[in-house]
């Protein structure tokens, strides 16, 4: 979109009318009025080409996915992004639904909770939550990484069965990471926050300090491979990260959980990871197992068709760029079709996104179409 080209067709008439209204003004005043009128018109054109975006903290999958999209959109002259990072997804999703932001990261479990007026959206109520959820549309889907329990080797947390009575950092004050962190820790360890262990939450930007200053005995957080938060924390001592044990992974409860809204399983061989000095990953058979959060880039349904189509087409054409931008991006399934959508997840693709996929020869399931 052109931010600085010719003025819209009716500009001359508008400016002429302004001059006639002020015909008693001096030449200097008229020139000033013309400059202000033109400036306002150009500003309006510019505003239409700027997309406000909200995403997670630097060094995470959501952040990288959003900033890569922003770079490509700018390079292809689709739009200029203004990205606010380190945002809580719960708030960002609501902002998009209310038209306050144009695009945001969206753990799909949160779209489900919003549609029910549940969890972090309980104060909205079911009716208002459902109304807001109906305003959301998807451009593309991907997964964020796994979830794991980890602690410094000097800590008294020595695995999933040792969290009772401990203090566990389990996410930001609100959002999908907290919801998943609590649920997974309870499924694997049997411990509930506020009963068997004390949970603490801090904003994403505060986490590196909280992890390393000893405020928590252990961390139950999203993890990537490698993980930026863990890498930074290693400066304060060696760390152990635990995969979900096989028996817990195969349990009916866990298998039901990974089939839940906005969730899937992440399984891969640890030998495929490069070694990281100071970090030990524990698994009985050398295979990582954990739930993963499935997310999307979402927009308001009011986004114009051509912009949504162009942004989605840019993702399709540049999948390799997304997957190679950072080492932790290679397992994120960028470029997948309707990953984590349908079923209990209420959000559908934007019509422009559907058009982009279909033009690329991809088939969108009916359950994901608006």
- Between 145 and 22, where is the model more confident? 145
Would 1 be classed as within a structural domain? no
Would 328 be classed as within a structural domain? yes
Q: Are residues 150 and 286 in the same domain?
A: yes
Given 236, 265, 293, which residue is the final one in a domain?
293
Q: Are residues 317 and 347 in the same domain?
A: yes
Q: Are residues 277 and 317 in the same domain?
A: no
Q: Are residues 123 and 260 in the same domain?
A: no
pLDDT digits (tens, 9 = 90+) for 252-289: 999 999 999 989 999 989 998 888 999 999 999 999 99
**How many angstroms separate the CA atoms of 76 and 67, rounded?**
14
Would 301 be classed as within a structural domain? yes
Residue 119 is part of which domain span?
Answer: 50-143+296-368
Q: Are residues 23 and 69 in the same domain?
A: no
Would 43 be classed as within a structural domain? yes
**How many angstroms separate the CA atoms of 111 and 114, rounded?**
5
Predicted pLDDT of residue 364: 97
Would 5 be classed as within a structural domain? no
Average pLDDT score, the chain: 88
Would 193 be classed as within a structural domain? yes
**How many angstroms separate the CA atoms of 191 and 184, rounded?**
10
pLDDT digits (tens, 9 = 90+) for 33-57: 333 333 333 333 333 479 999 999 8
Predicted pLDDT of residue 308: 98
Q: Are residues 269 and 174 in the same domain?
A: yes
End-to-end Cα spacing for the chain: 26
Given 266, 293, 320, which residue is the final one in a domain?
293
Q: Tokens 């819209």 correspond to what residue?
A: 8
Predicted pLDDT of residue 8: 35
Number of domains in the chain: 3
The band of 15, judged by pLDDT with boundaries at 50, 70 and 90, is: very low
Residues 6+ apart with CB under 8 A from 63: 55, 56, 57, 85
Predicted pLDDT of residue 326: 93
Q: Do 291 and 245 touch, CB atoms closer than 8 A?
A: no
Q: Are residues 264 and 274 in the same domain?
A: yes
Residues 6+ apart with CB under 8 A from 232: 208, 211, 212
The CATH number linked to 196 is 3.40.190.10
Q: Do 347 and 137 touch, CB atoms closer than 8 A?
A: yes
Q: Are residues 139 and 171 in the same domain?
A: no
Given 251, 267, 293, which residue is the final one in a domain?
293
- Between 24 and 128, where is the model more confident? 128
pLDDT score of 7 more than 70: no
Q: Are residues 166 and 258 in the same domain?
A: yes
Q: Are residues 132 and 175 in the same domain?
A: no
Predicted pLDDT of residue 96: 98
Q: Are residues 199 and 261 in the same domain?
A: yes
Would 269 be classed as within a structural domain? yes
pTM (two decimals): 0.74
Q: Are residues 268 and 190 in the same domain?
A: yes
Would 76 be classed as within a structural domain? yes
């Amino acid at each position: 979109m052109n931010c600085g080209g010719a003025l819209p067709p009716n500009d001359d008439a508008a400016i002429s009318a302004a001059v006639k209204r002020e015909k008693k003004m001096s030449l200097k005043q008229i020139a000033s009025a013309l400059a202000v009128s033109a400036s306002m018109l150009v500003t309006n054109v510019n505003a239409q080409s700027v997309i406000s975006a909200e995403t997670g903290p630097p060094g995470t999958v959501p952040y990288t996915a959003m900033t890569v999209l922003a770079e490509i959109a700018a390079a292809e002259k689709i739009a200029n992004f203004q990205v606010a990072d380190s945002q809580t997804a719960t708030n960002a999703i609501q902002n998009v639904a209310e038209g306050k932001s144009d695009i945001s990261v969206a753990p799909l479990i949160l779209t489900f909770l919003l549609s029910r007026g549940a969890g972090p959206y309980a104060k909205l109520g079911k009716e208002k939550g459902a109304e807001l959820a109906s305003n959301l549309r998807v451009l593309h889907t991907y997964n964020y990484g796994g979830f794991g329990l980890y602690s410094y080797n000097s800590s008294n947390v020595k695995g999933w069965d040792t969290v009772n009575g401990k203090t566990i950092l389990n996410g930001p004050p609100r959002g999908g990471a907290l919801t998943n962190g609590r649920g997974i820790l309870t499924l694997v360890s049997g411990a509930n926050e506020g009963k068997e262990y004390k949970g603490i939450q801090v904003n994403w930007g505060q986490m590196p300090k909280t992890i390393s200053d000893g405020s928590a005995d252990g961390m139950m957080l999203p993890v990537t491979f490698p993980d930026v938060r863990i890498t930074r924390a290693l400066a304060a001592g060696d760390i152990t990260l635990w995969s979900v044990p096989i028996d817990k992974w195969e349990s009916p409860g866990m298998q039901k959980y990974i089939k839940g809204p906005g969730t899937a399983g992440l399984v891969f061989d640890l030998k495929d990871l490069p070694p990281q000095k100071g970090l030990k990953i524990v698994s009985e058979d050398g295979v990582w197992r954990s739930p993963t959060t499935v997310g999307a880039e979402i927009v308001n349904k009011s986004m114009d068709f051509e912009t949504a189509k162009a942004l989605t087409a840019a993702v399709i054409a540049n999948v390799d760029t997304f997957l190679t931008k950072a080492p932790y991006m290679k397992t994120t399934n960028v470029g997948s079709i309707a990953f984590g959508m349908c079923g209990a997840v209420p959000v559908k693709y934007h019509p422009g996104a559907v058009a982009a996929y279909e033009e690329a020869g991809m088939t969108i399931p009916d359950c994901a179409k608006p």
